Amino acid sequence: MIPSRVLAVYDGSGIDGSLYSRVNRWADAAPHWLDELIKVWSALGLGLFAVFMLYAWWRARGADSAVMARVLASPVIVVLAYGVNSLLKGMVEEVRPCAQIPGSVSLETCPGSGDWSFPSNHTVIAFAAATALWFVDRRLGWIAGLFAVLMGASRVWVGVHYPHDVAVGALVGVLVAIPLALLAARLAPLVDRMRAGALRPLLGPGALPLVTRGPEAYQSQRR
């Protein structure tokens, strides 16, 4: 029996509920090891994007200050994208498909009423991080983008999001991250001052030579 509160809020199954159900059947019929692998990735995979950011910081120690400014702004961009997405969730109040569609199989505990489905927080975070990193290093950004796609797909596979939750989540992450990443380069003078002070060991030139890979990309510093 679906609770009355669920019936009172938005039902997104009319958009792509049939596609969700098809993926849900694939997950139900898949080998146990595959479901477990995707379940673990879906639950813990966001930590990989933090590792990407740490790697970007390590490399940016030898880059110009605009690049370092964008690296330092990356986690802030992710937090702001999450905040925008939370506002959207509260406005739409879409019920999770695992709670809305009878017979759905969820590989993780289906979130309760009030934990809305649209858009996907995991997807927003992943795509915001990947977009921010793209403005630091295009190669790293593309790699992170691939894992962002896998994160979004996993949220449908485990049964807690509709495909449109993931698609819009990706769009929100990208649209929030692009202008903020561009603006972050304007903080280069602040990074210059920080590099001249006590934070130089953390922000100053590193020992690794860096190759230009994208807009304002890594450049070797010779002093």
pLDDT in tens, 71-89: 999 999 999 999 999 999 9
Q: How many residues does the chain have?
A: 223
0.85 exceeded by the pTM? no
Class of domain 16-101+112-193 as given by CATH: mainly alpha
- Mean pLDDT, range 36-55, rounded to an integer: 95
- Mean pLDDT, range 127-142, rounded to an integer: 96
Best CA proximity match to 166, nearest among 6, 23, 3: 23
Q: Quick one: tokens of 175?
A: 């649209």
Rounded to the nearest 5 percent, the helix, strand and coil shares of the chain are 70, 0, 30
Best CA proximity match to 144, nearest among 164, 167, 170: 170
Measure the CA–CA gap between 138 and 127, rounded to whole angstroms.
14
> Does residue 222 have a pLDDT over 90?
no
> Does residue 48 have a pLDDT over 50?
yes
Q: 149 — phi, psi (to 5°)? A: -60, -45
pLDDT digits 0-9 by tens, 145-176: 999 999 999 999 999 999 999 999 999 999 99
Tell me how far the alpha carbon of residue 180 is from its chain's centroid.
Answer: 15
> Does residue 8 have a pLDDT over 60?
no
Domain boundaries, the chain: 16-101+112-193
What pLDDT score does 205 carry? 67
Measure the CA–CA gap between 50 and 48, rounded to whole angstroms.
5
> Does residue 118 have a pLDDT over 80?
yes
